Each structure stands twice: as C-alpha cells, then as structure tokens.
Structure 1
Amino acid sequence: MAAAYAILKSALFVTPPVPTASFENQCIVVTGANRGLGLESCRWFVRLGAQKVIMAVRNTSSGETAKQDITNTEKCNPDIIEVWPLDLASFDSVKAFGKRLKGLKRLDVLLCNAAITTYEFRVVEGHESQTATNVIATFLVAFAALPKLKQTAADFGSKPHVSIVTSDLHHLTNLPERQNASIFEALRDKASANMSTRYSVTKLIEILVVRELFRQDGGPIKDKEAYPVVINTVNPGACHTHLTDELGWMPSVVKFFLARSAEVGSRNFVHAAAAGDESKGQYLNDCKVEEPSAFVRSEEGEKTQIRVWTELKAILEEIEPGVTGSI
C-alpha cells in the first residue's frame, strides 16, 4: 500500500526539474533513442552541449527521422548526432555494437533506455523476450562499454556514467522465480510464466544487479569510492510513450490520468547521467536517490541479488567470454 501511494504521489504531485547540467565536450550513447523517452533524452543532451550524441536504434530509418526531428527543434549541426544500429533481440547485434564503441575517442554517458513489454511469451536467443532484451542484452551492452568509459575517465579526468532505465513497477513483485533452483531457467519456462508481471520482474532484476555490483561485503567492485564510473538505475515514472502499446486498453486508461509527457520523464535520465558518486549502485526517482522496494532492501532480497548476479554473469560470459572482466 505504501509503495502504491508513493507511485501515485510521484505521478500526481511531482514534476522533475528542468535539467541544467552541462554535457559540453561529452559523447553520449542512448539506446532505444528513436522515440519517446530516448528521443527526448537525446534532445536534452544536444541542448545541454553534448559534443556527440549517438542514437542506438533497432530501425535506422526511424532513427534518421528522429535525428532530423532533433536538428529541426534544436537548430544544431546534424553532425553532432549519429544513428547506430542496435537490436537488443540479437546478441550478435549487441556484440557488434560493443565492438564499435571501442572505436570512439571518448564515451561519457551510456543511457540504457531500450526495453520491451508484452503479455505474450516469446523466445529470443533462448530466453523469454523481455528477459533477453531488458536484462541480458542491456547488461551485455553496459559491460561492453565499460573499458571505453574507464579509459575516458583516465584520459579526460571526467566521471563517466552508465544509467540503466528501470521502473517503479519493481515495487509490485518480489521475484517469485527465486523459489526455483535457477532463476533464469524459471524465467524461460513458458508453462509457469506469469507474463502480467514479467516487465516488473525484469526491472527488479536490473536494480538487483546494479546494487550487487557495489555491494560492500563481496560485490565485484571492491572500492566504490574510487571506481571511475558511476553506475545507477533510474525510474522515469509513468509516461506517455509507446512502451505499453501491446498491453491493451487498461494501461492507456491509467496513463491518461497519471502519465507524464516523455519530455518530463526524460529529465530523470539527464539527472542520472550527471549524478554524483552518491548515486553509485543506487535507484534514482524524481531526480534524487531513493530507497527501492522493501523486498530489495530485505535479507531475502540481498540473497536473491547475489543469486541473480551469479546466474547473469554466467549467461553473459557464455555469450561473450571475458565481458564481465571489464567491471
């Protein structure tokens, strides 16, 4: 009940502030950038002085249209914006994208915004599609980018960021699949899948993984303060986007009454991309660090967090050997 009240309060009474941070000289990569929150984030980064904004999109034709939209509204040099192909439903596409990132002179921000939601159980790369896209491919991109992010910190004395877009809907699940011997095996079992909560589950897993990276007593990052890259998760709140197009009329009704515009929601992303060290491993909501769900903070949540990371690490290493070594 408390979580539902907090979600409603945020949607009805909180407006994230207009971003003012400078991204001068920075190179920004945004996944899922051709519309909605991703598009509006790119617009903000251009407006705030980014030297290069890379729009990572599944459909490059749509990406070019989005690029033209930004150049029209911001009256910017079109050379500032590049459109790169990235299909999170294809691990080969993700690996190719990661290799291309290595060729950049610098990389200051990776905003992992791309995600899907559906009630239909589909298999992608051997996993349920939302698990494959929102979790596995998302972290494959993030960890592939870390070497360049670290190099940027060393070469330019900057503080690069990885911001993983999550959701306040993570409050609505406690990952019941944890009752199984393997969480990810349970997630790809069609017979037992609860697709009405799967999106929330994937958003919860994102939070657990990022928290585990910075866990003080055993996480893979041993010195949180000294770590050169800020990695956080960020919630945009309910927004008027195309994310829920497959889910029927009910989400549309809810959004009509509660949702922010994509522009307002994207302000959270811009804040996360400039947030300080205090945001490392943390969940950001309404442009501030906020406690995640009670389950995440519980003893059972921490046990699940460790298990999720152990399983995900093995999956990522099978796809791209050595990729988690970049952490």
Structure 2
Amino acid sequence: MSLIGFWRLIQGRLFPPANPTASLEGKTVLLTGGTSGLGLEAAIKYINLGVSSLIIACRNVERGNEAKKAIEQRTKRASSSASFDIQIWPLDMASYQSVTSFAQKINNEVPHLDIALLNAGVMHRKYTQTPDGWEETLQVNALSTALLGLLLLPKLRESRDTATGAPAHLTFVSSGSYRHAKAGELQPGGANSILQHLNSEESFRAHSQYRLSKVLVEYTAKSIAGLTRCDDGSLEVIVNSACPGFCRSRLGREYDAWHERMFVAVFELIFGRTSEQGSRTLVSATMLGEESHGKWWRSDQYPDISATLTGTSEGKVLQIRAWEEIVGELKLRSPEVERLGRCN
C-alpha cells in the first residue's frame, strides 16, 4: 500500500461523511442488497428520513424479513402503520431472468419510484459461474446491475416530482478500488473482448476481479447518465455513483483461514468506517441535485478522477467499448434494452 493510500484510509476513519438530514417524506425508495451491512444501515436511514415506501430487494426473502424486523426495532416504527411500509421483494442478481422479472414487477406495480439505490454486490475468492454462464462477481456487480438500471428507466423517467419538477434518482454503489485498475487488466494484449477476458477462469484473480467489476459499474453509471440527458440539456433521471469508503462489512466473508479472518478483523477495526458511517454516503448520493449527474460521490465530495480509467482518454475509449459489449450482451437477454437506451 502506498503512503497516499494509507493516508486516505486514516482520513476516511477519522473524518466520516456527514449524516443526511433532509426530509424524504412521501418518497418511494428501492434498495438492493438491503439485508445487512451498508444496505441495512441505508434502509434504516431512509425510514428515519420519512420515506413512505421502502422496497428491499434481496436473494433470500427470509433474511429480508429478518432485516425488516431489525429496521422496525431500530427505528421504533412498525411498517404496519399508515405512515410507511417496508416491502421485501425477491431478486437474485446472479440470474438475468430474476432481474428482468423484478424490473417488470416494479414497472407494473409501483405507482411512483423516486430513488433506486443499486447496492447489491459480491466479492468471491474463488471462480464461481452463474447459470447464465458468467463469473458471478462480474454478473452480479456489473452485468445484472447494468441490466436492472436500464430496465428501471421507464419507471424512473415517469417519476419526476410533481411539486418541484426534480427528476428521480438512480445511484450505483461503486468502490474506490476501481481507481487502481489499469487498462491492461481490462484488455490485456489487445484482447478481442473485455467481458470474455473477465469471464475467463484462467484470468480470474479475486481482488482484481472485484475492482474491475467496479470499473464496469462506473462505465455503466456514466453511460446511462449520458442516455438520460436530452439534447436540450435537461435530465430525465439523475444518475450518479457513490463510494462508501473502506468499511467494516461482509464482503470479506469468504476468508476462511483463521489468520486471514484475524487480519481482516484487525484491519477493519483500525481503518474501517462503520457500516452506518459508510451508508451516509450512499443515502446522501440519492439526495443530490442535478450537479451530481454522471459523477462519483465519496466523503461528501466529488474526488478528482482525472487519472483513473474513467478520466483518461484511454479509459474513455475503453468505456465506449465496454459499454457496447455490455449492451450487446444485455440485448440478448432483454431486447428492450436497446429501446430503453434512447432519450425520450
């Protein structure tokens, strides 16, 4: 780790982001990955900020219902009251079919969607392939997240605030680790396909796979931000990404050796923000104005990304290529993806 990286960890630990306080009264929020860690803490914040409806999407409905009880206990508010409700909807981000069915249900059954916070993510230490034929970190973090973001656009586009005219929000949860990715990791030796390279078991490395999946998340956020800005400069949906910083979380739950678990526990205790502190950034990102469109939000600011794969000219060329590949793959799973990418 460089001295700069070490200093960033210290800063993040000593200076957590501000707690969002603006009212979200009457808003409807969709949160993926909301059963533990950052997602659970974000859910609690949304309830405390006054949302009228919170939809928590999760793979395990039983765990979702347990999270719902925990939220009610910690906020001292029962979702059976008339003021708000918490709904648990099944969603398996490792399945394209689950994602498309979920999005269809949102578009058909939810009258209004003000905020979509796409937080679900994994980091596998071993190569694991989904039934759709993709390495799971790649599909869950990047491909299915891009698919869900695109399929939610119809509902988000029609959910502009009737009182203020403000657009709805679509926020992707990112990671600061993406800044350390190199172009050669995405496309070594001029490989023909970025996605096929990342899907290869031979090229799989756990930590690099996670950060590269987050590069694709950034490319997705910026590409969809471009799609939702109309020719006259107006925005149909505010699209941004957010990094909670280094937090104590369950992402490292696959460490099984005792010495690995001990190292992770001590490292997180010394340098990690709490999940509550990290969730502040996620929630505040979904409350930012149009100035946040297409930007990366971390620790109450928009960090300089000029030297990253989203800021350099080489990175921007890779973004175009990666997005073309992502859309090409997703169109095979959901033909409406191409239509949804056009500005209304």
2:138–2:213 Cα contact (<8 Å) kept? yes
Please name the residue that 1:87 is paired with: 92
Cα separation, partners in 2 of 1:198 and 1:122, compared to 1, 3 Å: same
- Superposed, 1:155-174 pairs within 5 Å as 157-174=165-182
Separation in 2, partners of 1:293, 1:194: 26
The structure 2 residue matched to 1:226, chosen from 234, 237, 242, is 234
Please name the residue that 2:187 is paired with: 178
Please name the residue that 1:271 is paired with: 284
- Structure 1: which 5+ residue stretches go unaligned? none
Please name the residue that 1:77 is paired with: 78
- The alignment partner of 1:84 has SS state of strand
- Partner amino acid, structure 2, of 1:148: K
Q: CA deviation at 1:254?
A: 2.2
Q: CA deviation at 1:145?
A: 0.9
Cα displacement string for residues 86-116 of structure 1 (whole angstroms, at most 9, x for unaligned residues): 1101111111110110110100110000000
Please name the residue that 1:116 is paired with: 122
CA RMSD of aligned residues (A): 1.9
Cα separation, partners in 2 of 1:29 and 1:223, compared to 1, 3 Å: same
Separation in 2, partners of 1:10, 1:284: 16
Separation in 2, partners of 1:167, 1:87: 21
TM-score when scaled to structure 1?
0.93
- Superposed, 1:191-210 pairs within 5 Å as 191-210=202-221
Please name the residue that 2:40 is paired with: 39
Matched, 1:305 2:339: no
Please name the residue that 2:5 is paired with: 4
Separation in 2, partners of 1:229, 1:10: 32
Please name the residue that 1:245 is paired with: 253
The structure 2 residue matched to 1:135, chosen from 127, 136, 142, is 142
Cα displacement string for residues 297-326 of structure 1 (whole angstroms, at most 9, x for unaligned residues): 111111111111111011111111112422
Cα displacement string for residues 48-76 of structure 1 (whole angstroms, at most 9, x for unaligned residues): 01010011111111111111111112122
2:230–2:236 Cα contact (<8 Å) kept? no
Matched, 1:315 2:321: no
Separation in 2, partners of 1:238, 1:147: 33
- Partner amino acid, structure 2, of 1:47: N
Please name the residue that 2:26 is paired with: 25
- The alignment partner of 2:127 has SS state of coil
Q: CA deviation at 1:206?
A: 0.9
TM-score when scaled to structure 2?
0.89
Deviates more, 1:2-11 or 1:255-264: 2-11
Separation in 1, partners of 2:6, 2:148: 34
Separation in 2, partners of 1:112, 1:10: 26
Cα displacement string for residues 274-304 of structure 1 (whole angstroms, at most 9, x for unaligned residues): 0111111111001222223613211111111
Separation in 1, partners of 2:230, 2:10: 37
- The alignment partner of 2:158 has SS state of helix
2:118–2:173 Cα contact (<8 Å) kept? yes
2:26–2:50 Cα contact (<8 Å) kept? yes
Matched, 1:285 2:298: yes
Cα separation, partners in 2 of 1:105 and 1:222, compared to 1, 3 Å: closer
- Partner amino acid, structure 1, of 2:159: T
Deviates more, 1:294-303 or 1:229-238: 294-303
Moved over 6 A (4+): none
Cα displacement string for residues 111-165 of structure 1 (whole angstroms, at most 9, x for unaligned residues): 0000000120111111111000000111111111110011111756342111100
Please name the residue that 2:159 is paired with: 152
Cα displacement string for residues 21-78 of structure 1 (whole angstroms, at most 9, x for unaligned residues): 2111110010011111111101100100101001111111111111111111212231
How many residue pairs match? The answer is: 324
- Structure 2: which 5+ residue stretches go unaligned? none
Q: CA deviation at 1:7?
A: 3.0
2:243–2:281 Cα contact (<8 Å) kept? yes
Separation in 2, partners of 1:259, 1:8: 8
Q: CA deviation at 1:222?
A: 4.5
Deviates more, 1:246-255 or 1:44-53: 246-255
- Partner amino acid, structure 2, of 1:107: L
2:121–2:137 Cα contact (<8 Å) kept? yes
1:316–1:323 Cα contact (<8 Å) kept? yes
Cα displacement string for residues 194-245 of structure 1 (whole angstroms, at most 9, x for unaligned residues): 2331111111111122223345xxx674448411211111001111111111
Please name the residue that 2:52 is paired with: 51
